[in-house]
């Protein structure tokens, strides 16, 4: 046993006292992570929209909606930012709230009571289905964009990272324990975040379209033109200009469609949707490229921004056609 100095994380996460050397090492790693990868939430900047109680969101929230997607029973979007509308009532809800705290790109979620932060940290990568995981640890550089990990044996091509999470030591260790990263697929220029650090750590091959600055970023495999590209027997690159000129989506096993900022689920409309206000390159091009997806089967839509969704391939096709019809009636000023 060693006697630790008062915990730098404060009473919310640990109490001063006796810790084992391994516990102390974990605490120091956590301090490094919290101080180097995002600021800690400030209770003095607590948003007035929060209900009273333990968890809160402060004024640094950038409204990426990660928290409301991870823990919709606790957090919601009240307009230009998110807030806590209901405090966790169970251990399961507290775990989800702590996961949201860890995943928040700006460290805008805080607590007034003591919690074990590792409950949230160790939950990532979070299994979505089969061998596909959500990485958590979103990056402010990608405005909180979600990134995903496909875990595969080396004989099947090895692990694949889709877009970049924060290069946080705790996440990197977990990914390394799961087999590292052999390939990194980048949907578009907005969500590259810490791609260079992941490449340096794992030596992974990066894949990106030329029209989104792949050469400038030093990407190893550059997609050009509009034709689909098959990376291996399971992964297809489909070009989808619109949000950006070089935007692409990745289809895995004709089941999982990683859509970046091209396509997401709308809980409000109960169907698939796109975002005309952020069609930086061209809404008309995005509408046309959306129609390309009707040539493919998929059961999951896994976006960088917006809600993910799972349904049968037939229902997904129906929702996709509904989205295209809706897009044709909208301008990018809608």
In tens, the pLDDT along 246-291 reads 999 999 999 999 999 999 999 999 999 999 999 999 999 999 999 9
Task: Return the CATH architecture of domain 124-328.
Answer: 4-Layer Sandwich (3.60)
| Average confidence score pLDDT of the chain | 89
Tokens, residue 199: 């490449």
**Is 38 in contact with 20 (CB distance < 8 Å)?**
no
Q: Name the pairing type of β-strands 256-260 and 82-84.
A: unpaired
Which residues of the chain fall short of a pLDDT of 50?
1-38
Question: Domain 2-120 class?
Answer: alpha beta
> Domains of the chain: which residue ranges?
2-120, 124-328
pLDDT, residue 58, reads: 96
Q: Whole-prediction pTM value?
A: 0.87
Q: What digits encode the pLDDT tens for the residues 44-81?
A: 999 999 999 999 999 999 999 999 999 999 999 999 99
Helix (H) or strand (E) run with residue 24 in it: helix 21-37
88 contacts 119 by C-beta, under 8 angstroms: no
Sort 32 into a burial class: Cβ within 10 Å, 0-12 / 13-18 / 19+: middle
Neighbours of 114 (CB within 10 A): 14
């Amino acid at each position: 046993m060693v006697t630790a100095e008062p915990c730098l994380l404060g009473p919310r996460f640990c109490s001063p006292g006796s810790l084992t050397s391994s516990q102390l090492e974990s605490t120091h790693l956590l301090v490094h992570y919290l101080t180097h990868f995002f600021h800690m939430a400030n209770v003095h900047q607590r948003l007035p929209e929060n209900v009273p109680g333990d968890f809160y969101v402060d004024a640094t929230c950038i409204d990426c909606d990660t928290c409301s997607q991870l823990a919709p029973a606790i957090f919601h979007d009240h307009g230009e930012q998110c807030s806590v509308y209901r405090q966790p009532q169970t251990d399961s809800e507290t775990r989800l709230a702590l996961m949201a705290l860890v995943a928040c790109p700006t460290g805008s979620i805080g607590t007034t009571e003591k919690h074990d932060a590792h409950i949230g940290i160790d939950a990532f990568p979070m299994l979505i289905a089969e061998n596909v995981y959500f990485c958590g640890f979103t990056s402010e550089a990608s405005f909180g964009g979600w990134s995903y990990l496909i875990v595969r044996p080396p004989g099947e091509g090895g692990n694949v990272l889709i877009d970049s999470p924060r290069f946080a030591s705790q996440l990197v260790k977990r990914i390394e324990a799961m087999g590292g990263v052999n390939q990194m697929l980048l949907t578009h220029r907005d969500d590259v975040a810490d791609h260079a650090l992941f490449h340096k750590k794992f030596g992974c091959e990066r894949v990106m379209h030329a029209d989104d600055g792949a050469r400038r970023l030093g990407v190893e495999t550059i997609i050009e033109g509009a034709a689909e590209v098959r990376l291996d027997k399971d992964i297809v690159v489909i070009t989808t200009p619109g949000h950006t000129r070089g935007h692409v989506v990745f289809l895995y096993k004709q089941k999982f469609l990683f859509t970046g900022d091209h396509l997401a689920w709308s809980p409000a409309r109960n169907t698939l949707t796109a975002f005309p206000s952020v069609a930086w390159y061209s809404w008309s091009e995005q509408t046309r490229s959306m129609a390309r997806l009707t040539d493919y089967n998929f059961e999951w839509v896994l976006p960088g921004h917006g809600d993910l969704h799972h349904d049968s391939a037939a229902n997904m096709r129906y929702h996709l056609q509904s989205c295209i019809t809706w897009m044709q009636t909208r301008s990018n000023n809608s």
